Amino acid sequence: METDSMKIPAWTASEGAHRARELFGEAFPELGRPSGVWASPGRINLIGEHVDYNGGVCLPIALPHRTYVALRPREDTRIRLISDEGDAPRWEGDLSAVKPDGGIPSWVAYAAGVAWALQRDGYAVGGFDAAVASCVPLGAGLSSSAALECAMGLALDDVYGFGLAASPAGRAELVAACISAENDVVGAPTGGMDQAASLLTTKDHALRLDCLTGATTQVPFDLAAQGLAILVIDTQAKHSLVDGQYGQRRALCERVAAEEGVETLRQLPDPAATLTRLTDPEAVRRVRHVISEIERTEEFVELLTKGRYGELGALMDASHASLRDDYEVSCPELDTAVEASRAAGAWGARMTGGGFGGSAIALVEERNLDATMAAVAQAFMDNGWRGPRFLQATAAGAGCRVSKEEAL
Ligand code: GLA
């Protein structure tokens, strides 16, 4: 089976910048060039799923796939936006229209919502013209929305001179503004891991993100040196976080935490006692996932730190089983991707991201990459499903400016 054509390539920085700049020039010919181009990555999460909104620990890496934003500030408060998606949607409106329940299209809320959040936080954001080009697959559970928010955040931070991207504390503020764009302006009750992954990661490292304290640790992550690779399998099955399933789970976790007198499930003084006390079997399953997933993530970090790569796969497998059986956020396509890659020799595999479709990841020996892709594609064909798409995840760096066109 020809596997190369099934792989989604990552643009180089100059290719991405070129595409965004070209789109900007076509959409706003009277302006000439943008002030610059900024890019921010999508992510996969190695382990620690559905724990960010429970104060847990997750371990994302940034993908080499990024969203590019070419932007120029305006003297007034108008916003003009264009995206390279599908039929190149355009939007034009006033900054004041970008707000919670503003009735704007959701892609505009993702893109411009961060301007609203920065303004609310006291930063004097004005209008802007922007063009968006992206090679992060959409709807694949790889955080294309966070990549867009973060690229926009970096652009606005730079052109309006806030200087947030220059320091870790400033970047944490940008992360918060991007999360607020998603939670408040888009209305998706997500937990914040994706924006942190896009803005706080370091190349060749996984990001240990403690969602209770906000503390971050860069964990060396160099699989190639071990002859290993992470294969990402985009099942192309539907994935939506706004359709209620995600919010229901989050609400249940928050309800149990409140009943136990703590703010998050991470803070349960005696998790085993809570599990015994719970009478609703659904609540037992959900809480059991959260507690066990946080433990698995800590263990994964420890194994990684000690270079015990051979033991990582079992934790990924256990994580998938827990997400499938206890948290119930997997689906037949994800289970098949996981099972087929394991049958083809993967050391471990699991769904990554929110679930209900989207992507799975498999830890594979580099020399088995092609065979694993072929086996998964075959399994999808046998089920009569649309072919999956693949990409190889290497730990890339956080978002940054990729091109400066003129003095800002
Ligand atoms: C989505 C959300 C994240 C996180 C994951 C599950 O990606 O955006 O905040 O909750 O699901 O781990």
User: Ligand 1 pocket check: which of 50, 323, 326, 350 to mutate, most ligand atoms within 8 Å of Cβ?
Assistant: 50
Evaluate if residue 5 carries a pLDDT over 90: no
Q: What is the mean pLDDT of residues 274-297?
A: 98
N-terminal to C-terminal alpha carbon distance within the chain: 50
Q: What is the whole-number distance in angstroms between the Cα of residue 189 and the centre of ligand 1? A: 9
Q: What is the mean pLDDT of residues 150-154?
A: 98
* Structure confidence at residue 2 as a pLDDT band (50, 70, 90): low
Q: What is the whole-number distance in angstroms between the Cα of residue 280 and the centre of ligand 1? A: 24
10 DSSP 8-state letter: P
Q: What is the whole-number distance in angstroms between the Cα of residue 195 and the centre of ligand 1? A: 10
pLDDT value of position 3: 64
Give how far Cα 357 sits from Cα of 59, 170, 252, Å: 20, 34, 21
pLDDT value of position 403: 86
Query: In sequence order, what are the residues at sequence separation of 6 or more whose Cβ sits closer than 8 angstroms to the Cβ of residue 274?
Result: 256, 260, 268, 287
User: Ligand 1 pocket check: which of 43, 44, 47, 52 to mutate, most ligand atoms within 8 Å of Cβ?
Assistant: 52
Q: What is the whole-number distance in angstroms between the Cα of residue 258 and the centre of ligand 1? A: 21
Kindly give the pairing relationship between strand 228-234 and strand 389-393.
antiparallel
Catalytic residues: 194
pLDDT value of position 375: 98
The C-alpha atoms of residue 93 and residue 82 are separated, in whole angstroms, by: 12
The C-alpha atoms of residue 319 and residue 49 are separated, in whole angstroms, by: 8
Q: What is the mean pLDDT of residues 98-125?
A: 96
Evaluate if residue 236 carries a pLDDT over 90: yes
Evaluate if residue 7 carries a pLDDT over 90: no
Q: Is the CB of 191 under 6 A from ligand 1?
A: yes
Cα dihedral 102/249/244/59 (nearest 10): 70
DSSP string covering 355-399, please?
-SSSEEEEEEEGGGHHHHHHHHHHHHHHTTPPPPEEEEE--B---
The reported pTM is 0.96
Give how far Cα 209 sits from Cα of 127, 147, 277, 373, 403, Å: 33, 18, 30, 30, 29
C-beta atoms surrounding 406 within 10 Å? 10
Q: Which atom of ligand 1 is nearest to the CA of 145?
A: 8
361 close to 44: Cβ distance less than 8 angstroms: yes
pLDDT value of position 405: 66
Counting residues of the chain whose pLDDT is more than 90, the rounded percentage is 93
Q: Which atom of ligand 1 is nearest to the CA of 50?
A: 12
Q: What is the total residue count of the chain?
A: 408
Q: Which amino acid is at 309?
A: Y
